[in-house]
C-alpha cells in the first residue's frame, strides 16, 4: 500500500497541501488499515481468481459476508472473448443473477440500473422493443414498417395506454405492508412466477421487520393462505384483487401496485370474476 502511494507521488504533478495532509493521515491509520487488510476476505487487485470464493446470493442469511459483486464477478460475454491475459481472465458467473432476485428473465444481462437509463425512458423503450421483438401480452405486434396498423391495434384495445409500466419504474411496482408506513418497490420483471415474487416479498419484509426489532411478521406462504398476511394487488381498473388467480403474464400486465394485507381485512376482496365470488369467500384464509 505504501509502495503504491510512492509510485503515485513520483508521477503526479505538484503536491498540494491537501495531499500532504492526506499522507500524514495515512500514517495514523496504518495500524487500523493493516488490520482491515488482514480482515478483508476478497482479493482486491490483480488476478482474476479472487472472486470465486463466495458465490452466495446477496440475500443470503446474515452472519455471513454475502457475495460482493465486483467487476470481476460480472458475467460478461465480451471479457471472456477478449481473453487478453489481463486481470479479467475467466469471469465467474454468479449462480444467481446480479440483480439480487431469483428468476431473472432471459435476454441480455439484467443488472440492476444498467444500462444507466432513467426509469421513465426505460418504460417507453421496453414497451416498444418488446413489441418489436414480437413478444406476447396485450401490447400487440408492431412491425417497424407498419406502424399505423399496429398503432390502430394499440389505440383500439382499451383507448388507454397499454401496460402498467408507464406508471412506475421498469417493472417496478410499489408494495406496502399493513403496519409499516414505508413502502418498497419490487421489480416484477425479475420474476417469472408467483412463487418467486412471494419469496422476494417475504425476504424483503421479513428482513426489514427484524431490523426494526419488532415481532417477526409471519409472512411465509403468502400465496396459499396459511399465513397471517395475504398478497393483494390493484389492477388497471383500480380494483383490488387477490394475487394468484390469473396467469402470471396477465397479472404482470395489469398490476399497478401491491399490498400485503392482514388476512382479517382481506375478506370481501373483489375476486377476478363474479362467478367465483362465493368460492373465494369460502376459501380458508
Q: 84 or 274: whose CB is closer to other proteins? A: 84
Could you say which residues in the range 119-148 bind other proteins, by CB under 8 A?
Answer: 119-122, 124-126, 128-129, 132-133, 144, 147-148
Shortest distance, position 275 Cβ to other proteins, whole Å: 29
Distance CA 236, CA 82 (A): 47
Contacts of 109-116 with C-beta under 8 Å, sequence gap 24+, read 109/74, 109/75, 109/76, 110/189, 110/190, 111/74, 112/187
Alpha helices (runs of H) in the chain, residue ranges in sequence order: 2-11, 17-39, 77-82, 119-132, 147-158, 194-211, 248-254, 277-281
Shortest distance, position 29 Cβ to other proteins, whole Å: 5
Q: Does 19 bind other proteins (CB under 8 A)?
A: yes
Q: How far apart are the first and last CA of the chain?
A: 60
Could you say which residues in the range 244-283 bind other proteins, by CB under 8 A?
Answer: none
Q: CA angle, 190 as apex, 223 and 41 as ends, to 5°?
A: 105
Distance CA 240, CA 238 (A): 7
Strand, coil or helix: what is 231?
strand
Shortest distance, position 166 Cβ to other proteins, whole Å: 6
Q: Does 28 bind other proteins (CB under 8 A)?
A: yes
Q: 77 or 218: whose CB is closer to other proteins? A: 77
Q: Contact with other proteins (CB under 8 A): which of 6, 10, 21, 268? A: 21
Q: 116 or 268: whose CB is closer to other proteins? A: 116
- Calculate Rg over the CA atoms of the chain: 25
Shortest distance, position 155 Cβ to other proteins, whole Å: 8
Q: Does 4 bind other proteins (CB under 8 A)?
A: yes
Distance CA 2, CA 39 (A): 18
Q: Does 32 bind other proteins (CB under 8 A)?
A: yes
Q: Does 157 bind other proteins (CB under 8 A)?
A: no
Q: Does 1 bind other proteins (CB under 8 A)?
A: yes
The site map against other proteins for 203-242 (x = CB under 8 A) is -x--xx-xxx------------------------------
Strand, coil or helix: what is 9?
helix
Q: Does 13 bind other proteins (CB under 8 A)?
A: yes
Contact 183, 176 (CB under 8 A): yes
Q: Does 166 bind other proteins (CB under 8 A)?
A: yes
Shortest distance, position 261 Cβ to other proteins, whole Å: 19
Cell triple for 9: 507521488
Could you say which residues in the range 61-120 bind other proteins, by CB under 8 A?
Answer: 62-66, 68-72, 74, 76-79, 82, 84, 86-88, 107-120
Strand, coil or helix: what is 148?
helix
Compute how many residues bind other proteins; rule: CB under 8 A.
101
Q: Does 284 bind other proteins (CB under 8 A)?
A: no
Amino acid at each position: 500500500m505504501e509502495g503504491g502511494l510512492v509510485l503515485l507521488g513520483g508521477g503526479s504533478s505538484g503536491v498540494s497541501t491537501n495531499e500532504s495532509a492526506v499522507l500524514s493521515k495515512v500514517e495514523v491509520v496504518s495500524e487500523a488499515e493493516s488490520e482491515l487488510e488482514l480482515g478483508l476476505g476478497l482479493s482486491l487487485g490483480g488476478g482474476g481468481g479472487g472472486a470465486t470464493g463466495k458465490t452466495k446470493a446477496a440475500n443470503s442469511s446474515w452472519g455471513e459476508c454475502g457475495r460482493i459483486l465486483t467487476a470481476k464477478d460480472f458475467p460478461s460475454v465480451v471479457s471472456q472473448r477478449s481473453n487478453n491475459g489481463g486481470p479479467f481472465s475467466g469471469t465467474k458467473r454468479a449462480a444467481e443473477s446480479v440483480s439480487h432476485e431469483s428468476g431473472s428473465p432471459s435476454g441480455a444481462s439484467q443488472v440492476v440500473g444498467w444500462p444507466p437509463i432513467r426509469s421513465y425512458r426505460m418504460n417507453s423503450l421496453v414497451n416498444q422493443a418488446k413489441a418489436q421483438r414480437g413478444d406476447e401480452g396485450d401490447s400487440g405486434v408492431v412491425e417497424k414498417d407498419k406502424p399505423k396498423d399496429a398503432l390502430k391495434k394499440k389505440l383500439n384495445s382499451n383507448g388507454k395506454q397499454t401496460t402498467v409500466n408507464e406508471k412506475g419504474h421498469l417493472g417496478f411496482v410499489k408494495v406496502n405492508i399493513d403496519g409499516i408506513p414505508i413502502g418498497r418497490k419490487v421489480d416484477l420483471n425479475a420474476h417469472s412466477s408467483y412463487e418467486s415474487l412471494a419469496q422476494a416479498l417475504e425476504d424483503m419484509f421479513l428482513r426489514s421487520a427484524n431490523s426494526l426489532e419488532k415481532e417477526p411478521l409471519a409472512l411465509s406462504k403468502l400465496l396459499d393462505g396459511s399465513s397471517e398476511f395475504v398478497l393483494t394487488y390493484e389492477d388497471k381498473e383500480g380494483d383490488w384483487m387477490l394475487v394468484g388467480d390469473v396467469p402470471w403474464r396477465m397479472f404482470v400486465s395489469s398490476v399497478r401496485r401491491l399490498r400485503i394485507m392482514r388476512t382479517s381485512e382481506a375478506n370481501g376482496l373483489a375476486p377476478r370474476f363474479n362467478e367465483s365470488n362465493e368460492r373465494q369467500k369460502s376459501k380458508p384464509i
